[in-house]
Structure 1
């Protein structure tokens, strides 16, 4: 099967599985990466690196090897298996055996072809990009007794750093977020930068107070700041819910739901058509919480750490 036929059949299968998945991007001649072929499949193997001491190092392994696949034919599972075998040969040459490396395959969540092949090769569905289509009813979020949501201010820096470090430490259990020795300094710098827009018309950080105590926060990205993630969904105006966390002592009080409802109101007021967010699939708190808020899996990232055993 030729390259164009493989790409066309792959795109048809994805659109049939999920109407919110955009048509796969074309790979251009000379694009960075290593092309791999199977009888009825194509893949592009790429490598990305982040440096220690940068905020990006908090949220991922330092080295990620990624495989983008196009599957066609009567047995796409076998095609994926063949491409994974070729990729493993490629990774063996890279000697990616350090824990701070990962092999990553990101697939549309509803395209379950080849799931067993990924499991057999030591991959686990680890990270999800979830979607919530807009629901602009205009009524606004319901009030929660004792909860007040306000713009974050410069004076909230210590509280936000504490809450964001709590979130980071909890998420580090689930395979992608990585603990770093300079975590406190990195989180402080990143939070201070986010607070720089506290006086703007559309601040990104919001604080939830429970009877006057700041015990939760939410970070949002409205258009055009969320443009970087818009390529993953068929919508013109996309928002991104970057993070939400509630202190342990305020769980089950309605603070988290109030923050989520406030964020969705902001997205609706900005004319957002779809909101995206990342969460760890194994997280027993965030997964049921977000799906109760109207989200569903859109893309699933399968990880293997280290990249090769």
Structure 2
């Protein structure tokens, strides 16, 4: 879907000025419905709305509503006013929709754009998820020595049940503070863990304390290459993706997770990672503190409102 060249050029310039780590702004999606608005001075802004539907057995239900309407805004240099009038137009556009309870309106936007944040808050959107990156001097830090009684190793196929149980417990916890809790979380989580453990050297590590499993970390390799979906979010290069990290509740705050991630970061760096990235929930009182202390900082934030009809 085409938009005016002058608007897109201003959009691209704004992204470059907001955050040096942002990749070049992506063009508008080819598929979607267009929403238009104008500022008080007559400057035109626009957006493209895409709808995504997830069935009961689709993995995205672990972090997403079943019925998602995502807005891709193009506001150029208009700041808070431009985002505000575009969100107002989107609210009017939503009047013709009939979203159910398990639905959401979503905008994924650079985390450092304070002017846009004002508009998001005014329209009832909250920061539900953040893509955070860890680069620079953190990448070269020496691995931390595990505490007394703590050992770290690669996971094995026979660890599957323990790892799955921890992953489900974390999903249930996040269901209180961010995404919805899904009754079939175990069935949705199991395939990825099974695939990870089926490798000769899985990117899945366990921390044991006094012989008992205390935490696990699941990672993957991601390549951000020209034209790829990853290139719309990350600078080009080979990245380590931290998919899931869990510490058993009774041992949180004792440094087990920190020691585990020190080993994971060191191994990913040794494997040639430009840096590492992950998604965390800003509303999660545990992860929002832990990951910042590990050297991560938000690059993109997903602003959401649930259900979609609650958009103001």
Q: Secondary structure at the match of 1:275?
A: strand
Distance 2:177 2:146 in 1: 33
Shift of 1:89: 2.3
Alignment partner, residue 145 of structure 2: 142
| Matches for 1:19-168 after TM superposition, within 5 Å | 19-27=20-28, 31-39=30-38, 40-73=44-77, 75-96=78-99, 98-135=100-137, 136-137=139-140, 139-168=142-171
TM-score, normalization: structure 2? 0.89
Q: Secondary structure at the match of 2:115?
A: coil
Distance 1:204 1:231 in 2: 25
Cα 1:150–1:299 shift into 2, 3 Å: same
1:170 lines up with 2:173 in the alignment:
yes
Shift of 1:189: 3.7
Q: Which runs of 5+ in 2 are unaligned?
A: 39-43
Distance 1:271 1:298 in 2: 21
User: Following superposition, which runs of at least 4 residues in structure 1 exceed 4 angstroms of deviation?
Assistant: 224-228
Shift of 1:124: 0.9
Alignment partner, residue 279 of structure 2: 278
Name which of structure 1's ranges 224-233 and 15-24 shifts more when overlaid on structure 2: 224-233
Shift of 1:127: 1.0
TM-score, normalization: structure 1? 0.90
Distance 2:287 2:234 in 1: 21
Shift of 1:225: 9.8
Q: Secondary structure at the match of 1:222?
A: strand
Distance 2:259 2:293 in 1: 13
Shift of 1:289: 0.7
Shift of 1:188: 3.2
Cα 1:230–1:10 shift into 2, 3 Å: closer
Cα 1:222–1:145 shift into 2, 3 Å: farther
Alignment partner, residue 19 of structure 2: 18
Distance 2:234 2:191 in 1: 31
RMSD: 2.1
Alignment partner, residue 41 of structure 2: none
Distance 1:228 1:4 in 2: 22
Shift of 1:165: 0.8
Shift of 1:92: 2.2
Name which of structure 1's ranges 130-139 and 142-151 shifts more when overlaid on structure 2: 130-139
Shift of 1:181: 2.4
Q: Which runs of 5+ in 1 are unaligned?
A: none
Shift of 1:230: 4.5
Alignment partner, residue 287 of structure 1: 288
Cα 1:186–1:126 shift into 2, 3 Å: closer
Shift of 1:275: 1.2
Distance 1:86 1:78 in 2: 12
Alignment partner, residue 194 of structure 2: 192
Is this contact kept in 2: 1:207–1:216, CA < 8 A? yes
Is this contact kept in 2: 1:58–1:183, CA < 8 A? yes
Shift of 1:91: 2.1
How many pairs does the alignment contain?
300
